[in-house]
Amino acid sequence: MAELYLIAYIDGCRVAINSGRIESIVQIPEIISVPRVDPSIAGLFALRSRVLTLIDSQYSVTGNRQQLAKGCLAVVVEISGHHYGLAVDKVEDVVSISDEAIQKSISPSAKWKPVISEIAQVGDHLVMILDPAKMVDCDQLLAA
């Protein structure tokens, strides 16, 4: 069976996000900073009369904060009934990934392992399949 995935880039690396988890892809109109939050939270932003938490995806993977500003891209996902924006460098395409394309014998590097569920062969390249729920830790879920 095949499913559709959005190909995006985080910290310059290709990742795939299951399209069934994605509500939209948006350019952030303005980021409101929040004092004393976990460094993986870049701030808050407004989207269609809602306030969403913007996750610094690069920080979640590398521990290095990204300079996010008005106009940056975010993939909006729903996790446990709450909506989050996952900051991405860019989006590329939507592709179909079949179960047969999943590479069981390959595991991601240590920095990606906490947020990657699997790795798949897409065309001539490998792509890491990102689990959006793993980008948001338990404390952030409780705060939402």
Domain with residue 46: its CATH number is: 2.40.50.180
Q: Which strands sit side by side in the sheet containing 82-88, from one edge to the other?
A: 22-27, 73-79, 82-88, 50-55, 41-47
Q: What pLDDT score does 66 carry?
A: 85
Which residues form the domain of 71? 2-143
pTM for this prediction: 0.89
For residue range 37-69, list pLDDT tens digits in order. 888 999 999 998 899 999 999 998 988 888 888
Domain count, the chain: 1
Residue 7 has pLDDT above 70, yes or no: yes
Under the banding of pLDDT at 50, 70 and 90, the label for residue 1 is confident
* For residue 140, pLDDT beyond 50: no
Amino acid 67: pLDDT: 85
